[in-house]
Chains A and B, each alone.
Chain A
Amino acid sequence: EVQLVESGGGLVQPGRSMKLSCAASGFTFSNYGMAWVRQAPTKGLEWVATISYDGSSTYYRDSVKGRFTISRDNAKSTLYLQMNSLRSEDTATYYCTRGSITRDYWGQGVMVTVSS
């Protein structure tokens, strides 16, 4: 059974940093691109970043470029999102998803609240 379990969220002050993790199981992690998608409270879904299966290629939405870094450790079957210089508009539930294009499995999500 494919499982994606996010962790690392919480309350953080504007301008500070936070790192999210996504532990994957039930499939060969190193064979799949992965992505982060977020959802602000009571809002729709927004793609954040994608990483290729081997980590050689990464893609970001403009609003997080230069502030967020997506990475992965295939030996640990874990996906990461390093978020720096956080803003109030980054407040959202962050979902880890499998696939560069298909996005066929989603984690349960982790809440990030940026507030003073």
Chain B
Amino acid sequence: DVVMTQTPVSLSLAIGQPASISCKSSQSLLGTSGKTFLNWILQRPGQSPKRLIYQVSKLYSEVPDRFSGSGSETEFTLKISRVEAEDLGVYYCWQGTHFPHTFGAGTKLELK
């Protein structure tokens, strides 16, 4: 199985500060289609997960542009340019290139 390793485990930031979360996979996520199925989701407290980014860097339409995704092969990063209160929760990266699809353990973003 592809192991997804997220760091850090938690982040404590003030409103307006930047955030960066790393996600590394144990094997390349570049698929035979030429696409890389690395995605990011956010689970706010007490809620189900919500979509953020797909195929490494593509933001869903409702996601603010302070979010960005980058990376390739086995190393990926989610960045928030300026954290806002609504951004708190647990961020997960997950891969859909190889079965079984696997998730990172999550990064908890807390507000200072």
Tell whether A pairs with B. yes
Q: Are A104 and B51 closer than 8 Å at their CB atoms?
A: yes
Given contacts A47-B100, A104-B54, 12 further A-B contacts (CB under 8 A): A35-B101, A44-B104, A44-B105, A44-B106, A45-B49, A46-B103, A62-B100, A95-B49, A102-B51, A102-B96, A105-B51, A106-B51
Q: Which residues of B contact A (CB under 8 A)?
A: 37, 39, 41, 48-51, 54, 60, 92, 94, 96, 99-106
Query: B-side binding surface: helix, strand, loop or mixed?
Result: loop
CB contact between B92 and one of A45, A100, A101, A108 (< 8 Å): that residue: A45
Q: In the assembled complex, how far is the CB of residue A57 from the closest CB belonging to chain B, in whole angstroms?
A: 11
Query: Contacts A44-B103, A45-B103, A47-B102; is A101 near B51 (CB within 8 Å)?
Result: no
**Which chain B positions have C-beta within 8 A of A108?**
48
Closest to B37 in A: A101
Decide: B101 and A104 in contact? CB cutoff 8 A. Answer: no
Query: Which residues of chain A are near B94, meaning CB under 8 Å?
Result: 45, 47, 103
Contact present for B48 and A95 (CB under 8 Å):
yes
Contact A47 B103 (CB under 8 A): yes
Q: Which residue of B lies closest to A100 (CB)?
A: B96
Q: Of A100, A101, A109, which contacts B48 at CB under 8 A?
A: A109
Contacts of B54 in A (CB 8 A): 102, 104
How many Å lie between the Cα of A1 and that of B18 in the bound state? 32
List, in ascending order, chain A residues with CB within 8 A of B50's CB. 106
Complexed CA–CA distance, A13 and B79 (Å): 44
List residues of chain B with CB within 8 A of the CB of A46: 103
**Complex interface: chain B residues within 8 A of A55 (CB):** none
